[in-house]
Amino acid sequence: MRYRTFSLTAIWLLIGINVLLYIATSINSFINPSHQDLFEALFGLIPASFLARPWTIATALFIHANIWHILGNMITLYFFGIYLCRLIGVRNSLIIYFAGGILGNILYILLGPPNSIIIGASGAIYALAGALVIIIPNLRVLLYFIAPMPLWVVVLVFFVLWSIPGVIPDVAWQAHLGGLVFGLAAGYFFRKRGRYFL
């Protein structure tokens, strides 16, 4: 396997924007408890009002509900992001990230409850995970930093836990599915090119 040269700048920039917006939403909620959901209302994606606020299909990727939401997403973005950047380059990785996230949000518009709101980068991160699963499915990773297992098993476990309706409430499985499917397709495309992989 041959690694491409890359820079962490883009991944850190994504993480930085997400963290800064989370801090801003938290400060706003603390100062103005009555406006607690202001950022979600402005930048979160609501299927029923998407045509009136089309920017939310992208901005929703940068808003997170709580500390555990953003912490889990940013840790995963860091590890999956740097590995995929090494394999296919920063530009291609960012395309997969944003296209997967937006496709996931489109699927949520089509299949999700019309008046619900979706926030978070999970769809985009599932796209990175899907690409890695196709390119290097047997990469050994530590589940919860403890149990070593193949990447495809970890992604499958998390997809089931965080995506199957009813297992965990209030999870946008539609966005997860859309991102993952796009990532799998993108991974197949890059694997077929064959220059960077085993």
pLDDT band of residue 2 (cuts 50, 70, 90) is very low
pLDDT band of residue 33 (cuts 50, 70, 90) is low
pLDDT over threshold 70, residue 72: yes
pLDDT over threshold 70, residue 140: yes
Q: What percent of the chain stands above pLDDT 90?
A: 53
Task: Give the model confidence (pLDDT) of 78-102 as tens digits.
Answer: 988 988 998 899 999 999 999 999 9
Report pLDDT for 155: 76
pLDDT over threshold 50, residue 121: yes
pLDDT band of residue 49 (cuts 50, 70, 90) is very high
51, 54, 111, 187 from 106: Cα distances, Å: 12, 11, 9, 20
List the single range of 6-20, 74-88, 184-198 with lowest mean pLDDT. 184-198
Report pLDDT for 1: 44
Q: Which CATH number is correct for 9-193, 3.20.20.80, 1.20.1540.10, 1.10.3720.10, 3.30.565.10?
A: 1.20.1540.10
pLDDT over threshold 60, residue 186: yes
Q: Supply 17's token pair.
A: 């924007």
